[in-house]
Structure 1
């Protein structure tokens, strides 16, 4: 059995971006890094259940109905597949989170709330703009 140890906090601060750190045919995990307060992604869902664990900073999860939940270091969330949400760095410094899902990362869809389709199917520059909270044109 192969074992791999990863310093997720160091990796997040070194790369300063989202990075898949483990990817097998049955499971994948990634580190989220939002450097500045107010950084956010688009309102979206995925086709698989997932968990988030806040390592550093503060994250506000927003939902389409106007609800929200604030997560601080040591807190975890379970999001069932098909549930729309948006992540925002609501702290006063960088936010680092770890997330994981079953299946390989390549099999995961990123369904934008406004478009109601997988933005992975769009042009790469359009995908990046929408992922980081840009409006849908």
Structure 2
């Protein structure tokens, strides 16, 4: 389909977890749902450039040097590939974000800050597409 329209916030409320919502060979998008205050990701990076936009709630993006940035609805972050970060729900309820990243979801890597290892193994279907 050449044009796709998704109600990201409505989907997040229904699914209540991270879910890829759009996927092409050049980019993918997902909704990120952090249900409870304090819910967070690990400190990690991805090789591809990406964006995050807060749709509901409040999220603090933390960096390895101890810096952080508070993101509220309507705020967008551009993260250059290879930049480590952590997302933390600093709202008193759920936080919903939308992310976009270069490349298809099947090629996505999740590099842990401590181990420097890719902690995201492709699914069997994705491995078949990638030929791994």
TM-score if structure 1 supplies the norm length?
0.86
Partner of 1:62: 62
Match of 2:20, SS? Answer: strand
Detail structure 1 runs of 4+ shifted over 3 Å in the superposition. Answer: none
Show CA shifts across 1:9-54 (max 9, x none): 1100000000000001111000000010000010000000000000
Unaligned runs of 5+ residues in structure 2 are 123-132
Partner of 1:87: 87
Partner of 2:26: 26
Partner of 2:77: 77
- Root-mean-square deviation (Å): 1.2
Partner of 1:44: 44
**How far apart are the structure 2 equivalents of 1:112 and 1:103?**
19
**How far apart are the structure 2 equivalents of 1:54 and 1:107?**
24
Partner of 2:129: none
Deviation of 1:2 after TM superposition, in Å, equals 2.4
Give yes or no for the alignment of 1:113 onto 2:113.
yes
Match of 2:61, SS? Answer: strand
